[in-house]
Structure 1
Amino acid sequence: MLDLPDHETLYAALTARDARFEGRAFVGVITTGIFCRLTCPARKPRPENCRWFASPADALAQGFRPCMRCHPTGSEADRIIADLAPRLQAQPERNWTEADLAALGYDPSTVRRAFRRHFGQSFLQMSRAARLRSGLKTMTKGSPMIEAQLDAGFDSASGFRAAFQRLFGHPPHEWRGPADLRADWIDTPLGGMIAIADDEALHLLEFIDRKALPQGLRKLSVLVGGRIGLGRTGLHDRTEAELRDYFAGRNQLFSLPVRLHGTEFQNLVWRALQQIPAGETRSYAQLATAIGKPTAIRAVARANATNRLALVVPCHRVIGADGTLTGYAGGLWRKERLIAAEQAYGGSDTGHLDLSGVDGGRASL
């Protein structure tokens, strides 16, 4: 899904200087031997003279030289990310500090801005999430709290519990007993996600850095009587497999059984969202008309914002009436990449989820 689109799509993006492809695609011009960003202000080449690359390294390997106007080999922010992101991946349990960044020769504020622009969160926020994930996995296996704490890289049990409670809305010890719903972490190309499921259906799927995630988890816990614990079910494995196929561009449709925790109106909106094929978008007004309530545009927008099943209920496919991207709880940068990627490969197998027979519930999440 996140691979290069076809030649026609890329050339149209080049001529339009489409910023959505910034960092995702580069063009090499065979008549000059130079490669550029798609947003380069230089005169555009003829389509037959273009060669497309997913990274500057690919273009350099083919003998192209970087453009002196758009500097496609990267800015300072690109170099920071290229250095620090692999370090974080190699040592997810490390307790990174601003002093560590300074010791590597980086200004912490510059690092913070670079990561927020690229990932929607700071380097230290990503570090804390990685450590929490490590501790979560340890606890899921039934290990003692102190072992989970050490695996997560926290200096104290109180620090781990505080971070855990900020994220999930519950102290860790409340998530270890018998439970009907289980919570686990799933990695995706756009960041970690929390999936909550039982043996029958998926109840929640959210990006880990969503600000409203703790509140959503607390509400879900109230709705199900606190019956949420750490662990994994067959639905988690199935969700992870379908997400992997989705991001690989092998399947645009999710066939996961879901449990909608919303009012009658919210459930109506969420089902309508699932009627939007991959590669297409709708405005809030169009969505309101589709459910037979053309004047309920604001209510539709609120229902869209309260969706707790990211990607499976594709609220990212709703945009402003003027075609601009509007708020997305998972981050506008994710919305931009999801829409661009779906449009790049959409049209070959579009459709919607079959929600017939799904218990929509009544309580508002």
Structure 2
Amino acid sequence: MLFDLPSDETLYDALIARSSEYEGAAFVCVKTTGVFCRLSCPARKPKRENTIFVGSIGTCLETGFRPCQRCRPLATFGAKDPLVEDLLQALEAAPERRWSEDDIVRRGLDPSTVRRAFKRSLGITFLDLARHRRLGLAARQLADGGRVIDAQLEAGYESPSGFRAAFQNLLGDAPAAAQGRALLFSDWIETPLGPMVAVADATHVHLLEFHDRKALPTELEKLKKGTRSAIVSGRTAPIDQIESELNAYFAGKTGAFETPLAPGGTAFERNVWAQLAKIPVGETRSYGDIAREVDTIQAARAVAKANGSNRIAIVIPCHRCIGSDGSLTGYGGGLWRKQWLLRHEGKLKPKGLFVEEMQ
């Protein structure tokens, strides 16, 4: 289980040492390559900030990571169960094949037994694993401008409705909506305040939120509908850039962010966010202050609502907005994070220097 794992530091030390101590109990997902490995993998080791440690192969697969070709975590781990090993070898030989319970029966196996064996060994059923791989191939084909019918058949679905339902379940959008469009890519960024989810295209960051924000699922759905794109696991240059800038921010080196943003929102919301961006690091403004800047007759309540609609945390600093009495009012990431950020930025504020407002 994930909660039974030792600390990430301990697991990273085991990864560097190529230890087999956690064989089958822990795996490393490498964010820069999109692969997951056994800790004893002989491949070149990633930097600590590019690793995520999990206790289930199913978790690796369901979050979009693919098995390493050097340490072959699926085949090696499955070797503990001959039934699992046999089916994994068959899947490796034909990853595009549409597997069914009838195929399992024809191999002289009981579907229920296979289901339990895979859930026990990998945390995911064999049929779900096979379907995940087919849909991944289909997503790439659609992103490259392929026809929906071709992707449907390539994924092994004779029924358009069946393919549509499976595609929507995995990527959150209909196949036709993804046809010929660039996908949005999502990855996790580790911070001292917990993981953040970043979503970007090839040029701009569209979303940056703490992973446990209650509104995150709604924000992701709204983003997909607004951009008519699917969101898949992966990295683009803006995610790399924002991660680097966040690392510098949390290290106390700078409070500046230059990654291009695509925050969405209405004209009024964008106006509010622009005013937030002008608040110097280490300072705060009340909702009323911002309301006067944007000349709204709806006053502080409208500003507070616009703050809540901001989907790019920290970079668009809605945490610098406080109550008129100086109190820390609502923050989607949690008031404890808001307090931490303001204290941290107080240390970043230049001492005895004139600080120009951001243009």
TM-score, normalised with respect to structure 1: 0.54
* Gap regions ≥5 residues in structure 1: 1-82, 96-126, 162-169, 355-365
Which of 245, 250, 253 is the equivalent residue of 1:250? 253
The alpha carbon displacement at 1:338 in A equals 0.4
- Superposition RMSD on alpha carbons, in Å? 4.3
Q: Distance in 1 between matches of 2:124 and 2:59?
A: 12
Letter in 2 for 1:306: S
Structure 2 CA distance, aligned partners of 1:157 and 1:194?
A: 29
Matches within 5 A, 1:224-243: 224-243=227-246
Unmatched 5+ stretches in structure 2: 13-23, 27-53, 75-87, 93-117, 132-167
**RCO comparison, higher one (Cα < 8 Å, 6+):** 1
- 1:279 Cα deviation after fit: 0.3
Counterpart pick for 2:264 among 261, 264, 270: 261
| Aligned residues of 1:317 and 1:339 also touching (Cα < 8 A) | yes
Q: Is the 8 A contact 2:183 2:229 kept in 1?
A: no
Asked if structure 2 preserves the Cα contact closer than 8 Å seen for 1:206 and 1:213, the reply is: yes
Q: What's the CA shift string for 1:314-333, capped at 9, x where partnerless?
A: 00111111111111000111
Cα separation, 1, equivalents of 2:280 and 2:59:
35
**Alpha-carbon shift at residue 288 of structure 1 (Å):** 0.5
1:346 positional shift: 1.2
Deviation at 1:153, TM superposition (A): 7.0
Q: Retained in 1: the 8 A contact 2:254–2:348?
A: no
Query: Which residue number in structure 2 is paired with residue 312 of structure 1?
Result: 315
- Give 3-state SS (helix, strand or coil) of 2:262's partner: coil
Give the distance between the partners of 2:197 and 2:55, measured in 1 at CA. 15
**Distance in 2 (alpha carbons) for counterparts of 1:249 and 1:315:** 19
Checking the alignment, whether the CA contact within 8 Å between 1:193 and 1:205 is kept in structure 2 is yes
Q: CA deviation at 1:184?
A: 1.0
Letter in 2 for 1:236: I
Q: Distance between the aligned counterparts of 2:286 and 2:67, measured in 1?
A: 41
User: What residue in structure 2 maps to residue 136 of structure 1?
Assistant: 63
Q: 3-state DSSP class of the match of 1:217?
A: helix
Distance 1:231 1:352 in 2: 35
Alignment of 1:278-293 (within 5 A): 278-293=281-296
- Against the structure 1 CA distance between its residues 316 and 264, is the aligned structure 2 distance closer, same or farther, given a 3 Å change threshold? same
- Partner of 1:194, secondary structure, is strand
Cα distance change of structure 1 residues 318 and 199 upon mapping to structure 2, 3 Å threshold:
same
Counterpart of 1:171 in 2: which secondary structure?
Answer: helix
Match of 2:154 in 1: none
Q: Could you tell me how far apart the structure 2 residues matched to 1:316 and 1:285 are? A: 15
Amino acid at match of 1:255: E
Deviation at 1:180, TM superposition (A): 3.1
State the partner residue of 1:179.
182
- 1:203 and 1:352, CA in 2 relative to 1: closer, same or farther beyond 3 A? farther
SS of residue paired to 2:258: coil
One of 333, 339, 355 as aligned partner of 1:336: 339
Assess, with a 3 A threshold, how the Cα gap between structure 1 residues 228 and 316 changes in structure 2: closer, same or farther. same
Cα offsets for 1:75-123 (capped at 9, x unmatched)? xxxxxxxx9996476569979xxxxxxxxxxxxxxxxxxxxxxxxxxxx
Residues 276, 351 of structure 1: 8 Å contact kept: no
Selected match of 1:346 from 346, 349, 355? 349
Tell me, yes or no, if the aligned pair for 1:280 and 1:317 is still in contact at 8 Å: yes
Alignment of 1:1-16 (within 5 A): none
Q: Find the aligned partners of 1:337 and 1:318 in 2 and give their Cα distance.
A: 14
Residue in 2 that maps onto 1:218 = 221
**Secondary structure at the counterpart of residue 205 of structure 1:** strand
CA gap of 1:229–1:292, structure 2 versus 1, over 3 A, is same
Q: Which residue of 2 aligns with 1:275?
A: 278
**How far apart, CA to CA, are the structure 1 residues paired with 2:201 and 2:346?**
33
Query: How many angstroms does 1:203 deviate by?
Result: 0.7
Look up the equivalent residue of 1:171 and give its one-letter code.
N
Residues 275 and 351 in structure 1, CA contact (< 8 A), matched pair in contact too? no
Q: Decide which of 189, 192, 196 is 2:195's aligned counterpart.
A: 192
Contact 2:171 2:231 in 1 (8 A): no
Distance 1:336 1:157, change over 3 A: farther
The count of residues paired between Structure 1 and Structure 2 equals 233
**Identical positions, percent:** 39
1:325 maps to 328
Give the Å deviation of 1:208: 0.5
The residue that corresponds to 2:211 in the other structure is 208
Q: CA deviation at 1:235?
A: 0.8
Check the 8 A contact 1:205/1:310 in 2, yes or no.
yes
Which piece of structure 1 moves more, 199-208 or 134-143?
A: 134-143
Shift of 1:155: 5.7
The 1:197/1:353 distance shift into structure 2, 3 A limit, reads farther
When residues 268 and 258 of structure 1 are mapped into structure 2, their CA distance, relative to the original with a 3 A threshold, is: same
Q: Provide the C-alpha distance between the structure 1 equivalents of 2:4 and 2:339, rounded to a whole number of angstroms.
A: 24
Between structure 1 and structure 2, the one with the greater Rg is: 2
**Mean Cα displacement is larger for which, 132-141 or 204-213?**
132-141
Paired with 1:272 and 1:140, the residues of 2 have a C-alpha distance of 45
What SS does the corresponding residue of 2:65 show, helix, strand or coil? helix
